[in-house]
Amino acid sequence: MSQIVECVPNFSEGRNPDVIQALVALVRSVPGVALLDESHDADHHRSVVTFAGRPYAVAEVAFQMARLAAQLIDLRSHQGEHPRVGATDVMPFVPIRGVSMQDCVQLARMVGQRIGNELKIPVFLYEQAAARPERVQLEWIRKGGLKGLADRMAADAGWVPDFGPKQLHHTAGATVVGARWPLIAFNVNLKRADLSVAKAIAKAVRQSSGGLPWVKAIGVELKSQGLVQVSMNLTNYEETSLHVVFTAVEREAAAHGVEVAGTEIVGLVPEQCLIDTAQQALRLDRFEGKQVLEMRLDSAESRAAIGRLAGSSAKDLPSLPAKPAASAAAVTAEQGLTGGSVGALAASFAATLGTMVAKLNRARAAETRLSEIGVRLRELVQADRDAYARVLQARKLPPNDPDRALRLSSGLLGAIETPMEIVKLCCEVIPLLRGLLAQAKPELQPDLKMGIQLADAVIDGCVSMVEENMKAQPNQQLIASIRERFAVAEQMLVDAKSLCYTPPFDSWSQNMLNILKLR
């Protein structure tokens, strides 16, 4: 069974489309992760991004999004209706398929530790991942907003963060990371501009004030619409259904002489929740999920039957015209041959040569790391192909297509990130091979030297790819972030390159020229 984890980070930005698109583009650029939903609200000044995929791919995207948000969002100038303590305000991991809650707890702690250690942002663990009972509920951590949290951290030793520094990041605040079950964000808008009414209704329906179990609620003002809203989170829809919550809010609103203007669901909602709501609202008897057309079609039996039907009738279909011969460039693209994929493959050969020599020399640590690097480089072969394919698809869209800029930005981000990672891995391979060179037998030294030269050539090619793709990247926010990250790795690059042109390579090259009688 495939393992799928969902992540639903909330960012304190709902008004700047460049920042929002940069965050969304990052999700789209990573293989093994699917963007499921993105929503933002200017009044709340908040964006919610939902994505899912393989556990460790999801964890990597989550960390990179926190990094990007810290670079692009400044809480010092932030004003919005929604409570918040961070640029990446809250980041929950949710088990979907083939993973346990404990798996998600481990992911939350791993990502939280990286955010704290590498980004220097204090991290508080919540819900199922909480290490302290007073931090289980998100609202307890956010009580009093950014200032309230800062005051508690300064005055109370019990409010030392789980990871990271003991004071807030000067622009990104703090981040709350955790693991939880699926949650439904449900809002009810009221035909009234009086915020006190929304707050009174929220107090009446939320669990903490004696209302409905598994319901969290606050009242907020939607200035752009001239309305107020009861904004809610349903943390267990099986125990307290969507229909029950709406009915309670509607009843309380009527008691205040206010009509409901409309409702909204932010992000995604489990299918069973909607089925339960329909069943209760329509008072259906003996209604089952298998009565839903799409669910029946998606059943294993239906898929198998449709597959057999398609297979048996294929011979009766009219033959299609032969595909015209493609140009050499088109054939290359169709085969998935890209500069980055060739670079990743070549670098993997360099790592493999090192793994072989390390094994023969019983250099266990080098063997393990080179083997890990080789595996990752082979994964990047397909990653670069996928990024290039997304760029081509985006460029085929009409210039006036509203999705063209975002899709192009996303594809180019992958076409930049992949060669950047290849460069960093090569910068690890070269010193590992140089270390082995000093202890290797003479007959194995040419293998190591070839590996070093391969990695050196790949670095040159991939750096050029990054530079060219940066020129085509339309999102200036992403460009600034990438340049900052590349600058951090610059010394690593300089050190690795210097190892390629110091003895024994000078004398070795001279000997080769003499042997080949090229001078």
Asked if 47 and 58 count as a contact pair (C-beta separation under 8 A), the reply is no
Provide the total of helices (H) and of strands (E) in the chain, helices listed first. Answer: 18, 11
Between CA 208 and CA 217, with CA 214 as vertex, the angle to 5 degrees is 55
State how far the alpha carbon of 171 is from the alpha carbons of 73, 80, 86, 273, 481, in Å: 7, 16, 8, 38, 15
Distance between CA 508 and CA 450 in Å, rounded? 12
416 near 470, Cβ under 8 Å? yes
64 membership: H or E segment, kind and range:
helix 55-72
Q: How far apart are CA 59 and CA 104, in angstroms?
A: 10
Contact in structure between 176 and 89 (CB atoms under 8 Å): yes
CA 179 to each of CA 59, 182, 214, 306: distance values in angstroms, whole numbers, following the listed order = 12, 10, 16, 38
Token pair belonging to 70: 């810290």
Contact 34, 51 (CB under 8 A): yes
Angle between helix 271-282 and 242-255 (nearest 10): 50
Tell me which residue of 435, 439, 425, 443 sits closest to 350, measured CA to CA.
425
From 420, 394, 440, select the one nearest 487 (Cα to Cα): 420
Q: Give all strands (DSSP E) within 79-174, no chain letters.
A: 88-97, 123-127
Nearest Cα to Cα of residue 345 among 370, 300, 379:
379
H-type alpha helices, 227-289: 242-255, 271-282
Task: For Cα atoms 458, 462, 463, give the angle at the middle one, nearest 5 degrees.
Answer: 115
Measured between alpha carbons, how far is residue 95 from residues 52, 72, 110, 300, 514 in Å? 10, 29, 16, 22, 63
**Cβ pair 384, 419 in contact under 8 A:** yes
Burial (CB count within 10 angstroms: exposed 0-12, middle 13-18, buried 19+), residue 496: buried
Residue among 78, 82, 243, 256 flagged as catalytic: 82
- Per the annotation, the verdict on 82 as an active-site residue is yes
Asked whether 208 and 216 are in contact (CB, 8 A), the reply is yes
Catalytic residues: 82
